[in-house]
Structure 1
Amino acid sequence: MLAHVPTLFMVIMALSATLALSVGIAARTQLREGMAYWALGLFAHTLAYLLFALRGQVSDWLSVVLGNLLLSVVFALFAEGVFQFQRRRPPRWLLWTPCGVVVVLFAALLPWYLARVVVGALIYVFQSLVVVLAVLQKRKETAGVGQYFLVTGFLVLVALTLLQGVGVVLHRDQITSVLSAHWLPGLVFLTSALCTVVVSVGLILMGKERADERNRTLAMRDALTGLVNRRSLLEALTQQMAHARRHGQPLALLMIDIDYFKRVNDSHGHLSGDKVLKTVAGVIAARTRAQDLPGRLGGEEFLVILPGTTLQGALQLAETLRQEIEHTGFCSVSGEVIALTISLGVCAQDQLVAPLCDDMINAADQALYLAKNNGRNRVGVFAPISLA
């Protein structure tokens, strides 16, 4: 049974227009996530197939040249959207040069359908692969499965385009125009309609998964300092303690408190207090290793989880942080100099066996209070304890 090509064109136009509207609505809140480019691409796709459907009723310059130009623009816009989604600078000469090539070659080959199909197949395969490669280059940094919908859709389009080019060459006596009554055009355009849906689902999923990932990150992070929050710290400490018990490795904690922080807020205002908190957090983050986990417990208190660190190693880091904060130039929002110090409590055990993270938290807290009671701006040590 042969598919009716004009009907398929109408289906593709309806799908593209609907999907363009859906992605366009999503783009209103995610303009910098590539959505706007993708919505424009789907709209151009709709117009391209409208011109294809009018073949024989309008000038070939519109139906053939402009229609294929719009189809090439679709690929360029999708690639632009991918690069914007990945926050990369797009190689625009690579993305848009094929559009100019389409205009020149299709205008020159206007009387020869077979030549146009072969040339178009080569150009569209190239543009499709540009999109696929751009997605795959950043697949590890992109969350979720939406990107694989996008890749799958474009790879199927590559296969279809090659099939169409080869098929037209092999059946050139039977396929003399895009509207020829042959099974191949019907198969190609029907599968293209399905690919349009798959690609669009991938685009929408990519935007949603990016938003979900951002929300998960926000749920784990302290909004002011950017460090992990209390809840994430306690969850991570429980996991690190279990790992330390299994492998007989040391684990250390640093609890940090800004000395006389209330005076900063009272004398310089809460905006200055926030600025101080962010600066202290930045110093802590800069001085810790990739495997360490610094976070904000709340207020002016910070906690640093130090996997694989002995008591001596934790003491060295604590003293380094104490000295750096003491010599860091802090300023209020009005430019006034703020003298600032911190007190630190250290708790560690070379072979940790602990049933509850509260034991380590309490030990570090007691060490911190020891530092404060001894005059502040110093490091307090809790003697290693056996937490069996």
Structure 2
Amino acid sequence: MPPMMIHIPTLMLALLSGFAMLGLQLWMAQRSRLQFLDLAIWTWGSWSLLAGFALLAGRLVLPLWISALFGNGLIALGLVIYNEAIYRHVLGRSLPRWVWWFAPGVAWIMTAWMLSWPLALRTSAISLVFAALLMPAIVVLLSKGWRAEHLLRSVGVTLVAAAVSLMLRSYHALMHPDEYLDIMQSSLGQGLTFLFSFICLIGAGFGFVLANFERIARRMEDMACTDALTGCLNRGTADALLRHELERGRRERTPVAFVLLDLDHFKQVNDAHGHRAGDAALRAFAQEVRQRLRASDVVGRWGGEEFGLVLPATDAAGARQLVDQIRMAVAALALSDEEGRPFGLTVSAGISVASADTPLTADLLFSLADRALYCAKDGGRNRVHVYEGPTHLAPGTAPGAAC
């Protein structure tokens, strides 16, 4: 029975087709409205690999020095570009500049130096170079990238598989040099290691596309839930979480406090110092609030200069203590506008509590906190008021009636 063989020219054609399809898909993806993604960089890497394989496949009609030197050089350049895409996507920065010069240069110099070597030795050495070129991306993906998009994990795993296959190819070429007498020689070992190594790179490319779109989906979800200016939750999301915490408070028989915070005379800040200074003040205020909250607490922007806090398992005394700390921290903020003119902020707050004995709806809890906020403002602002009146309010009752 004749040994199993893989037809290398057919394999090369399949890989060329695969990288061409990947390059086309990437080109179409990065031409969409989501052009800020790192797909353009990966696209250039795929085109470089495609050109490199085309030159290697052209060994039948091209001189050896052109096919080997430029083919391997372009493949090395493509792998470096893949590293650049990974670095930008995961770390938000470029590869060290020396890598751009050193890595492709080593591949070119080594290939030129080895042109007179037997193909088996040349294949073993260049396979190790290609495996080494994958290592920076693998390290980043298996450390920082593992905690980013879930689909980046598949990119890391496939790149590991590609590197392992390249190392096996290097070993196989040394152990079975008779199967590496010609690059187009049909051989099971040469064909399998070559195929698996570069099929993994194609798979990594498709995984990278999906990871980019996973990031976009997550950003769109964040945009739908958060206020773009302050980073707080928007009113709809915070209101939904308030209802959820009230339900849980009923089940667990624990109080839930709700706080309305309103920056005093904020319109005067915008009028006197400009809207940019006002926006900066809102961001500074939100940061001061977030620094003092527990992981279970929620801060949302209800609109304009009004914010809401949802404080699970918190009674009136605990809520008042927290909000007083926030009020004093806000009053101590040293702010200035673009012209360097200083200004300050103060905040008034109204607190209402749904206790285990008097469960309240979210709407009623909000109304009670709103009444307490009016009391704080009527009392001179820059103060905290806890609602202690009746919990069933008749429609049309004056806001300050419970003070």
TM-score range, shorter chain: 0.7 to 0.9
Question: Is the aligned partner of 1:43 residue 2:47?
Answer: yes
Paired letter, 1:374:
G
**Worse-matched range after superposition: 175-184 or 207-216:** 175-184
Task: Give the one of 276, 281, 285 matched to 2:286.
Answer: 281
How many positions carry a matched residue from both structures? 386
Indicate the residue corresponding to 1:363 in structure 2: 368
Shift, 1:73, TM fit: 1.9
Indicate the residue corresponding to 1:20 in structure 2: 23
Counterpart-to-counterpart distance in 1, 2:360 and 2:354: 14
Query: Is the 1:33–1:207 contact (alpha carbons within 8 Å) kept by the matching residues of 2?
Result: yes
Indicate the residue corresponding to 1:72 in structure 2: 76
Counterpart-to-counterpart distance in 2, 1:280 and 1:66: 58
Query: How does the TM-score come out when normalised to structure 1?
Result: 0.86
Paired letter, 1:83:
Y
Query: Is the 1:311–1:350 contact (alpha carbons within 8 Å) kept by the matching residues of 2?
Result: no
Shift, 1:209, TM fit: 0.9
Counterpart-to-counterpart distance in 2, 1:61 and 1:138: 40
Q: 1:94 to 1:386 in 2, by over 3 A?
A: farther
Counterpart-to-counterpart distance in 1, 2:118 and 2:99: 27
Query: Is the 1:252–1:306 contact (alpha carbons within 8 Å) kept by the matching residues of 2?
Result: yes
Indicate the residue corresponding to 1:57 in structure 2: 61
Question: Is the aligned partner of 1:122 residue 2:125?
Answer: no
Counterpart-to-counterpart distance in 2, 1:129 and 1:331: 48
- How big is the alpha-carbon RMSD for the aligned residues of Structure 1 and Structure 2? 3.0
Query: Is the 2:7–2:187 contact (alpha carbons within 8 Å) kept by the matching residues of 1?
Result: no
Question: Is the aligned partner of 1:113 residue 2:119?
Answer: yes
Counterpart-to-counterpart distance in 2, 1:52 and 1:98: 19
Query: Is the 2:41–2:84 contact (alpha carbons within 8 Å) kept by the matching residues of 1?
Result: yes
Counterpart-to-counterpart distance in 2, 1:160 and 1:301: 59
Counterpart-to-counterpart distance in 2, 1:365 and 1:242: 21
**Worse-matched range after superposition: 246-255 or 127-136:** 246-255
Paired letter, 2:121:
A
Task: Give the one of 300, 305, 312 matched to 1:307.
Answer: 312
Query: How does the TM-score come out when normalised to structure 2?
Result: 0.83
Show the 5 A alignment for 1:253-272: 253-265=258-270, 270-271=275-276
**Worse-matched range after superposition: 72-81 or 259-268:** 259-268
Q: 1:162 to 1:365 in 2, by over 3 A?
A: same
Shift, 1:113, TM fit: 1.2
Query: Is the 1:5–1:186 contact (alpha carbons within 8 Å) kept by the matching residues of 2?
Result: yes
Percent of pairs with identical residues: 30
Indicate the residue corresponding to 1:381 in structure 2: 386
Query: Is the 1:254–1:344 contact (alpha carbons within 8 Å) kept by the matching residues of 2?
Result: yes
Runs of 4+ residues deviating >6 angstroms:
384-387
Task: Give the one of 181, 189, 199 matched to 2:186.
Answer: 181
Indicate the residue corresponding to 2:325 in structure 1: 320
Shift, 1:157, TM fit: 1.7
**Worse-matched range after superposition: 205-214 or 158-167:** 158-167
Indicate the residue corresponding to 2:171 in structure 1: 166
Paired letter, 2:74:
L
* Deviations 1:46-91, CA, capped at 9 Å, x for gaps: 1110111111422222211222222222222111111100134435
Shift, 1:32, TM fit: 5.6
Indicate the residue corresponding to 2:399 in structure 1: none
Q: 1:158 to 1:336 in 2, by over 3 A?
A: closer
Paired letter, 2:79:
F
Secondary structure at the aligned position of 2:125 is classed as helix
Show the 5 A alignment for 1:84-163: 84-89=88-93, 90-91=95-96, 93=98, 97-110=102-115, 111-145=117-151, 147-163=152-168
Paired letter, 1:163:
L
* Deviations 1:9-64, CA, capped at 9 Å, x for gaps: 23322332332233234345666643232111101101110111111422222211
Shift, 1:289, TM fit: 3.8
* Deviations 1:85-126, CA, capped at 9 Å, x for gaps: 013443555676443332333222222211112212322223
Secondary structure at the aligned position of 2:233 is classed as coil
Secondary structure at the aligned position of 1:222 is classed as coil
Shift, 1:363, TM fit: 2.7
